[in-house]
Each structure stands twice: as C-alpha cells, then as structure tokens.
Amino acid sequence: MDRSFAFAHGIASGDPLADRVIIWTRLSGVAPGDDATVSWCLARDHRLRVLFPSGLKTESSRAEVQFGTIARPHTVEDPDWEEKMWSAKPVPIYSQHRYMFLSDGECGMALLNRGLPEYEVYTTEEGDTVALTLFRGVGCLGRRDLSHRPGRPSGMAVPTPDAQCLGKRVAEYALVFFRGDWTRAGIPAQALEFNAPPLAVQNMIKVEALELVTAFLQVRNFTGHIRERLDEVPPRDRALLRLSGRELMISAVKKAEDEEALVVRLYNPGDRPVQGESIVLSGAPVKRATVINFNEEIVGPELVPVAGGAYALPEVPPHSALTLSFQFSPGEGEN
C-alpha cells in the first residue's frame, strides 16, 4: 500500500539549552490504527532505537532465523576478551529476520518488524525491555577509537557519508502479546502476514466518451463499478492454497522441474512436532499428491484425501521441511 507521510504543520520548539534543543511537529498521513515511527535524522554517527518494556522477567530471547528460531541470552560477559586476543568485545546485540519474542512460559511479547533486523534486551528490576534499532548512521566504515571493535575489526577506514541516514526515515513494526506456546499463538504466521500486507491495485478503466468521465467518477457510480468487478471473482481465486492451522509456514510454491506438477514446500519453525494438519488447493482437481524431497523425488506415500477436498499432512518434526507434489487432472474442472 502506498503511504505518504509528510510534516505539513510546521515545527515548534521550547527554549534551547546550552547543549540541546527540543523540537516537535505533527505528522500527516498516518491513519488510525497504523503503527509507524517517523523520524527526521539531523545527528551524525549515532543510533536510534525504540524501547518496549515487556513486564516479563526472562533470561533469553528467541529470534527468527532461517526456517526456525534461536535462543539468545540477554547478557554476554567476558572481561578477558582482549587478553584472549578476540577481535571484538562480545555484546548481546543480535539479529532477527521478521520477529523476536520474550516468553516466561505463561505470557509472551513478540516484536514483528519490516526490515529492522537488530535488537537488544535490557534486564531491569521491573522486567525486560526490548530495544529495536530503527537505524544507525556512520560516517566511516571503520574507526580506531571504538570501544567494542577498535581498529580493523570494525572495518576499513573508508568514508561513508551517505550512510549517515540523514533525512526522513519511516520504520514499521508491531507488537503481539500472547499466552502459552508461541507457535500455537501463530507468531510466525503473523510475522509473515505483517511482512506481506495486502496490495491495493487501481483497475484500468477505459471510458470511451470524454464527457462520461465526470459522471463515471462520482462515488456511487465508481463504487458500483468496483463491486461489479468483485462479484465476478469466484471465491476459489482468493486463495491458491490454505492450511488448516497456523503452526506450519509456506516456504515456496513453484512449478515442478521435470513434470507438470505444483511443488509446495512447508516448514515447522517450532520446537515440537506438528500433527493433524491438512492442506487445501483451489483450482483444478488434484490427481495425485505425494511427499517429495528437495530433489523432487518421491520419498513417501500419497497423501490421503479428507473432508472438504483437503489432504492430510504427515507429521512434521521440529525445524524441518515438508515438500509436496500435486499433479492435476488435465481437462477436468476449472483452471
């Protein structure tokens, strides 16, 4: 969805101090319910983060990695890192893909992001606070006077003026609170949906006579036109495939390499097996559904059809992938 953010209301400020001044303004273009942080970067060589007090007390966080998650401790201490000839001081600043979360076993807080891979967790008496990096500006790739990575480990001393990230920056993220198991709460699925929002596309409307444009673009006529077009779309076209639960993730949907078949790859990002799931495909009737490997070779029995045109899936172990092949009956049903 195209978003247009603007500072259209001017800027106000309080009395300046000797070393700083506070300015504020109002942002236009944010609809009710939107979650966005908009900043105007004026400083150089700095990092901007947003903090989320969780109220939880934990010892580690979990962050998404490729096809799963990884546990990371909140503190990493080694005072002898220089004597051990380490090139950098160990710090608990971590990376994530689309989400990270904290959980004490009963309640949890997940932080979803769009292109914001760096985070850190602070521990206090009140609980853990998640610090999400919105951006960091650097004027040089590496510097000799850094406390954590001095000299060459931080990079070559190459000027990078464009990496100061000056100007307007928009960061989008979301908080999800949950109870119990994080996979059953659908945290991976919600993160995927957050990173793939619906797209609004303008239909190409052709008006033969120029004098009809004004009348056609009236609200009633225009919405009626859109409604007629939507009525022509059958429900099956709104979802190519559908899973019965939210614990398995769709990794790939592609045409088979050596045959006329559709390959669907799923994976289980959780810590326990997923059982009893099923999958439904829209479109032409399925002739054959089998389990295959990454080389698209059959390695398991055919899937068993169940009610509603769905196919029962085999058990998917933790942090494992399941690849399926669907062959369709030619000349039958609708395309």
pLDDT confidence tier of residue 300, bands split at 50, 70 and 90: confident
pLDDT tens, residue by residue, 114-149: 999 999 999 989 999 999 999 888 888 887 777 777
Question: Would you state the pLDDT for residue 30?
Answer: 57
Question: Would you state the pLDDT for residue 4?
Answer: 56
The CA distance from 22 to 28, in Å, is 20
Where in the chain are the domains? 11-195, 239-328
Beta bridge partners of 255: 262
Question: Would you state the pLDDT for residue 335?
Answer: 43
Question: Would you state the pLDDT for residue 116?
Answer: 93
Who wins on pLDDT, 282 or 227? 282
pLDDT tens, residue by residue, 105-115: 999 999 999 99
pLDDT confidence tier of residue 224, bands split at 50, 70 and 90: low
Architecture of domain 11-195: Distorted Sandwich (2.70)
Architecture of domain 239-328: Sandwich (2.60)
The CA distance from 45 to 54, in Å, is 29
pLDDT confidence tier of residue 78, bands split at 50, 70 and 90: confident
Q: What is the CA radius of gyration of the chain?
A: 26
Tell me if 88 sits within 8 A of 142, measured CB to CB: no
